[in-house]
Chains A and B, each alone.
Chain A
Amino acid sequence: MDPISESRRRISIKEHALANVSSPNYPGSCAGYDDTFDIKSVIEKLKVNIKRLEGNEMEFDLIGVEPAIPNAFRRILLVELPSMAIEKVFIYNNTSVIQDEVLAHRLGLVPLKADPRLFEYRQEGDEEGTEQDTLEFELKVTCANNKAAAKDSSALKDIYVNHKVFSDSLKWVPIGNQGDVYTEDDVGPVHKDILLNCLRPGHKLDIKLHAVKGIGRDHAKFSPVATAYYRILPEITLTREVEGEAADRLQSCFTPGVIKVSETKDGRKVAKVEDARYDMCSRNVFKHKDLIDAVKLDRVRDHFIFTVESVGALPPDVLFIEAVKVLKGKCARFLEELSTI
């Protein structure tokens, strides 16, 4: 491949620097290449490939776009997609050792299963909340001595009742007709075993909570993703044969699974690239002077490996779809506004 199309396609990882980090792609900046933005050709180039979908995690490839596009999706996933979280905490009694405000903050971070698409944003100044915009929970726990405990027992779980408060103690209180529409499983905490507080006999919690819809820009607890990130596809090319002891050394320079050492018919050990996808792109190989000329490390500029990890309210594929819809909606809104000028 000639150097110009090479530099346009790949970012090169050198011993002490990265080469071709940015490639000018404005019309006319590269002789022989038409960089004019043409929606038809951009759409033709775009490819999606779903690689992994396991519970709350999804990994897929987004190929043929500029970094600004996946970055917009990533930013939207993190801070612009709504989710439900506890926002108001009414503490009627809290005699535990955790201060009211610390406990309130802790409660706010508990992920809820409620689907935010079924709720409205609560109006500013509204203290009560309605069935469309609020989920009410109750946390009433009292710790006491366990009278039935064996005399010689000293384990906390035996001698006390309720000495640990978990998220399953959050009892949902339906407002209006919510009881007909949702079940406790639909709206309650995603995890039942989050430790909220530790009590001792006599300690008491009597708390009412309001969960509302919000976005991650306002507070991270509203962010529907644990992480959403992308990396650029690594590409490793062996420019000459590496054999024997050097092959093992080469293998140890990369993430396990990237380089495979196999035996040829005539009994030599030879290294070859198995799968560069999950390489961490360390530059360990450059420590070995005799291997420097054997490898070429690159990253494919327009190939993004996108990973979305949901907190649990919505599956990751739905989150990505919602994120794309948000970007689409932004364009539609401004186009609409422009049409009035």
Chain B
Amino acid sequence: MLAGDKGNEKCRTFVFHNEDHTLGNALRSIIGRYPDVELCAYSMPHPSEPKMLFRIQTFGPPAVEVLRRGLSDLQALSDHTLKVFEVFFQCVVSYNI
């Protein structure tokens, strides 16, 4: 999953196999808004190749750390969406009955 230049750990390109815009854009929209991130972008090198390239350049922390933070934030966000949706759904269902 990992490729990139040695030496400078602030810049990395990660290769996500079998992933596309679904994860790429969601993750980009989160990591791009971290104050210590200089650049965050993703690309699909070719539509028939099942991989997504994810680039992170930071002002300080290692890129891997930032990716880790991004993934756990996205995980927390979807977890919260799930909870809120389930609570509201229960309300609606019990209200209708």
Contacts and interface: CB of A to CB of B under 8 A. Distances in A.
Interface residues of B, number: 42
Nearest to B84: A48
B34 A50 contact: no
A80 B1 contact: no
A156 interface: no
B33 A37 contact: yes
Given A48-B85, A328-B79, A338 B67 contact: yes
A334 B33 contact: no
A61 to B, nearest CB: 10
Nearest to A76: B22
A65 B74 CA distance: 12
Contacts of B89: 50, 317
B71 interface: yes
Given A49-B88, A335-B72, A335-B75, A43 B80 contact: yes
Contact of B84 (A35, A46, A66, A328): A46
B77 A42 contact: yes
A279 to B, nearest CB: 24
Nearest to B81: A324
Given A334-B16, A334-B71, A321 B22 contact: no
A176 to B, nearest CB: 31
A183 interface: no
Interface string B23-48: 10110111111110000000000000
Nearest to A36: B35
Interface string A18-60: 0000000111100000011101001100111110010000001
Contacts of B74: 327, 331
A176 B25 CA distance: 44
B48 to A, nearest CB: 12
A72 interface: yes
A25 B33 contact: yes
B64 A341 contact: yes
Interface string B68-96: 10011111111111101110110111001
A150 interface: no
Interface in A294-329: 317, 320-321, 324-325, 327-328
Nearest to A335: B71
Nearest to B32: A26
Given A50-B91, A330-B22, 13 more contacts: A26-B32, A36-B34, A46-B81, A49-B88, A62-B81, A68-B29, A69-B77, A69-B81, A72-B23, A76-B22, A80-B22, A324-B78, A338-B67
Q: Nearest 4 A-B pairs (CB), nearest first?
A: A37-B33, A331-B75, A68-B29, A72-B26
15 contacts: A26-B33, A27-B33, A27-B34, A71-B21, A75-B20, A320-B85, A324-B82, A327-B22, A327-B23, A328-B75, A328-B82, A330-B23, A334-B1, A334-B16, A337-B1
